[in-house]
Structure 1
């Protein structure tokens, strides 16, 4: 019985050995064994990357803005009640056009002060000239001459002060002398452009310095762009810029860097860059978002 078990065990071992040999394929004459791919050398990879990559382009985000001389806030040094106005937001106005009229008794008193002082100054000037002539001829005392001179110069300064106040209100003294006192003050446009932020209506009381409206001249807009200190090496004043405006599709426009900020924000490490728009468009509005890049 023991011999039978030993024979069966030997037969099982031989069968297992045959199966393992069958699992290993024999090499075919004339063929090479397969090998695993070897990773490329790191230096070779770096060389390939530098050869195929493109130089980074400096890009910005920002908005369209206006230079200070192209944006005028209309305000007065005199209070009053708006008597009439026909101004609408977005309306185009010419420089010197009447935007509204203002009613204030102080304006009438100021005109009267100027006209009275002017008339008195004319009389005192004539008296001063007369006393000067008499003094030269020694027909009058020096005291009268000095008094007439002081009176004339004092009145002259009052005229100049009243004229300066009227000038702040855009009132021409020559027109006032020829046309007389005007009951209403005319508020005129300081520049040509489009009306924006209209904050007046008939019957409204306006305080001194209160803004009545803004006049926007869009003929020479700027780009206010945000960049970072790491990009400063790639830009200079005069560098060409290409930009797109939000809401105007893929259309591109050109600008030129006008100034580069000299102070870096301590938190964001950013600074402001201003660019002059070369080819403006009627659709441009202050505050519109833009994306820009330095042209190579």
Structure 2
């Protein structure tokens, strides 16, 4: 009888089952290590491409031969109140108290003309005379009021004598005195109306009720000067306040200068100003800024500065254009560099700052304003640093060469 094979088969397989389990475990272990991949190292952004990175610092190092050949001169910058000069366009106007417009004080007709354009006149000189019915009525009113007052003065004097002698009642004297007060008020009002026409006290008080001359109103010069424009002719009719002529005293003028708004903060009342023609002048007029307008000029979009100037040999004349040079300074300490030290990298102004005996750093700067000889720096330089003021073009070329070499 045959034995069952199942017992033999089971016994013979046990070694293989253990070996298989071992192989499975080994393969699983190997497979786990083999399946886990090490991540690649992170690649950083170059410093020059980082958003928070500043502009790269460019340094020019000179060897002994270059330093000897170039012999770069430097200047040390200091924070201080920097004087500078502004060059501005300007125009000339008559000085306010040296210009007058003569208008018709009343309606009438030009009867006589005594002075013409270009003629010099004195203050109070008669320029022309007007024939006016309205003026004749005012003069008649004055003469009548004066006559009434004179009559009432005499009446009051007589009544006082009668009242003292108890011949007339006191009430009669009181009424006469009231009438005299009203008459005197009428004389004062008529006198004031005539004074408003420009007549002098002596002229008005010298009139007589017996005069039969044609009533002509004299028009006099309010200031001394030269007649600039004569707008009326003989026989022409004028109405009250019509402009008849203008007077200019050429001894003094008002010069208006136009300052760009960004430079207005540097200009102060009292700053020295030189005025010359648009072409160069060796002997400009010198004065001071009297006032500064608070708003921009509508035509020029600039801040207007005003200077009262005496003229020299008839120059300048109102209407001329001139050039102004205002000598002023910064309102606060600033760093100013010579213009010879400033160059441009594209549109960016730069200077070369000496950091060692033969080493220069190309430094971008921010300029607030550029004057004839210096530029005011608001950023990029510190007090006490030295900047190159010669061979700047050579340093700029060397900086580009080194930049290309590094690339």
Determine if the TM-score, normalized by the shorter chain, exceeds 0.5: yes
Would you say the 8 A contact 2:96–2:254 is kept in 1?
A: no
Residue equivalent to 1:99: 127
Would you say the 8 A contact 1:255–1:279 is kept in 2?
A: no
Quote the offset at 1:102 in angstroms: 1.4
Residues 54-69 of structure 1: matches in 2 within 5 Å? Answer: 57-69=85-97
Cα root mean square deviation, aligned: 3.3
Q: Which of the residues 164, 167, 173 maps onto 1:145?
A: 173
The structure in which a higher percent of residues are strand is 2
Quote the offset at 1:73 in angstroms: 0.9
Residue equivalent to 2:238: 206
Query: 1:139/1:280 Cα in 2 relative to 1: closer, same or farther (>3 Å)?
Result: farther
Q: Which moved more, 1:276-285 or 1:230-239?
A: 276-285
CA distance in 2, matches of 1:248, 1:91: 32
Identify unmatched segments of 5+ residues in structure 2.
1-56, 61-72, 329-407
Quote the offset at 1:108 in angstroms: 2.4
Identify unmatched segments of 5+ residues in structure 1.
1-38
CA distance in 1, matches of 2:127, 2:219: 6
Quote the offset at 1:263 in angstroms: 2.8
SS in structure 2 at match of 1:203? coil
Q: Which moved more, 1:191-200 or 1:85-94?
A: 85-94
Residue equivalent to 1:174: 202
Residue equivalent to 2:268: 236
Query: 1:202/1:248 Cα in 2 relative to 1: closer, same or farther (>3 Å)?
Result: farther
TM-score w.r.t. structure 1 length? 0.73
4+ long deviations beyond 6 Å: 47-51, 133-139
Correspondence 1:216 to 2:248: yes
Would you say the 8 A contact 1:84–1:100 is kept in 2?
A: yes
- Structure label with greater radius of gyration: 2
Residue equivalent to 2:108: 80
Q: Which of the residues 285, 288, 291 maps onto 2:323?
A: 291
SS in structure 2 at match of 1:201? coil
Would you say the 8 A contact 2:91–2:255 is kept in 1?
A: yes
Query: 1:279/1:265 Cα in 2 relative to 1: closer, same or farther (>3 Å)?
Result: closer
Would you say the 8 A contact 1:254–1:279 is kept in 2?
A: no
CA distance in 2, matches of 1:65, 1:135: 69
Would you say the 8 A contact 2:251–2:310 is kept in 1?
A: no
Would you say the 8 A contact 1:82–1:205 is kept in 2?
A: yes
Q: Which moved more, 1:92-101 or 1:260-269?
A: 260-269
Q: Which moved more, 1:286-295 or 1:243-252?
A: 243-252
TM-score w.r.t. structure 2 length? 0.54
Residue equivalent to 1:276: 308
Q: Which moved more, 1:122-131 or 1:263-272?
A: 263-272
CA distance in 2, matches of 1:278, 1:189: 22
SS in structure 2 at match of 1:158? helix
Correspondence 1:161 to 2:189: yes
SS in structure 2 at match of 1:128? helix
CA distance in 1, matches of 2:300, 2:113: 46
Query: 1:41/1:140 Cα in 2 relative to 1: closer, same or farther (>3 Å)?
Result: farther
Correspondence 1:226 to 2:258: yes
Correspondence 1:41 to 2:59: yes
Quote the offset at 1:129 in angstroms: 4.7
CA distance in 2, matches of 1:55, 1:293: 13
Quote the offset at 1:105 in angstroms: 2.6
SS in structure 1 at match of 2:245? strand
Q: Which moved more, 1:197-206 or 1:68-77?
A: 68-77
